[in-house]
Amino acid sequence: MDILFAQIQADLRSNDALRQSGALLQALQQSAAGRDISVIAKTAVEEIVAAPASAVCKKLSFDLIRSTRLTADLWDSVCTGVRADLHFPDPDVTAAAVSILAAMPSYSLSKLIMDSNAEISACFDSVSDNLRFSITETLGCILARDDMVTLCENNVNLLDKVSNWWARIGQNMLDKSDAVAKVAFESIGRLFQEFDSKRMSRLAGDKLVDSENSLAIRSNWVSSMVDFVWKRRNTLMSRSLILPVENFRATVFPLVYSVKAVASGSVEVIRKVSKAAAGGANGSVVDSNAEKLVGVSDVVTHLAPFLASSLDPALIFEVGINMLYLADVPGGKPEWASQSIYCHFDALG
């Protein structure tokens, strides 16, 4: 085993992309077998992550890093390498660097985000679909996390940056790339689910819940995204219809959650929570009841055909559950619930 590890380390130091990628694949195999590859990970950080290398080698190195634990000084080296790669002319290298942000410890992540805010924001405007996908997927994972909300609570500048990134993720639901649009829908859906889970924890008397300021921060992000989806709902529904059918399921929950939040009035409560900490006034425009009813009806009309025509049980379940979710809003109809229940029985049968 020592001979194998020594050979892998020698290949990593070779500056030959083919030998390096082969060595990284061998290291990943050893990690999957349960062996300690921390020595190899250290070499990978020093020779590939913190130095110029191909996009494939960078990506494999980051996969290797995720499978082991790094010391604080090695994470510093990773951060240095990521900062350099954010300026790299090859967008695939930058995309690989962005992907490791989700694995970074909080103390490293906050500093990197503050130092490289402009470079991270520029990724959203890249002509590379791969880079836009990577930044949308990665930030969609980390921005809704508890540790990021806590960091924002203690750093106003970071909060402004994260709020702007949520807005960019929302806009990416309309991206020309199907993969980017799908992962943006998933990210917004994750934000809504995290918010609901925190609210239920408070109602259940859970002691390990957000502080009032953290809840206000989440509420502000959620209300902003609900407003965005509500105002652009027709465009978003049209965009979802031209996605591959296997990606359509990711679009259902964000649309339904936002429309129900507006139609039921719960978004007003969310806004009040977000404004309470900031002490601001609610300047949002309240839609008429008629517009709310039309909005709900439009979403149901958009989803209903998938109950009858889809051959994917997972999609039928997703659409059916969300139509049940809409049945109790003001103006909702009992047949929305019964139609989804019948389709569930048909799928089970």
- For residue 109, is it within any domain? yes
Tokens found for residue 261: 């939040």
Both 219 and 135 in a single domain? yes
Both 118 and 169 in a single domain? no
- For residue 203, is it within any domain? no
Both 169 and 294 in a single domain? yes
How high is the pLDDT of residue 1?
61
What's the DSSP call for residue 46? I
How high is the pLDDT of residue 340?
54
Both 178 and 240 in a single domain? yes
Both 13 and 147 in a single domain? no
Both 180 and 316 in a single domain? yes
Structure-model confidence comparison of residues 280 and 4, the more confident one: 4
Residue with tokens 């900490």, as numbered in its chain = 277
Both 118 and 16 in a single domain? yes
**pLDDT band at residue 282 using 50, 70 and 90 as cut-offs:** very low
- For residue 204, is it within any domain? no
Spell out the residues 6+ positions from residue 114 whose beta carbon is closer than 8 angstroms to its own.
155, 157, 158, 161
Both 84 and 228 in a single domain? no
pTM of the full structure: 0.87
How high is the pLDDT of residue 200?
54
How large is the average pLDDT for residues 138-156?
89
For residue 71, the SS3 value is coil
Q: Which of 104, 122, 140 is the last residue of a domain?
A: 122
Range of the domain at 216: 128-198+210-279+286-348
- For residue 238, is it within any domain? yes
Whether 105 shows a pLDDT value over 60: the answer reads: yes
How high is the pLDDT of residue 283?
47
Instruction: Give the span between the Cα atoms of 252 and 237, in whole angstroms.
Output: 9
Whether 108 shows a pLDDT value over 90: the answer reads: no
Whether 25 shows a pLDDT value over 80: the answer reads: yes
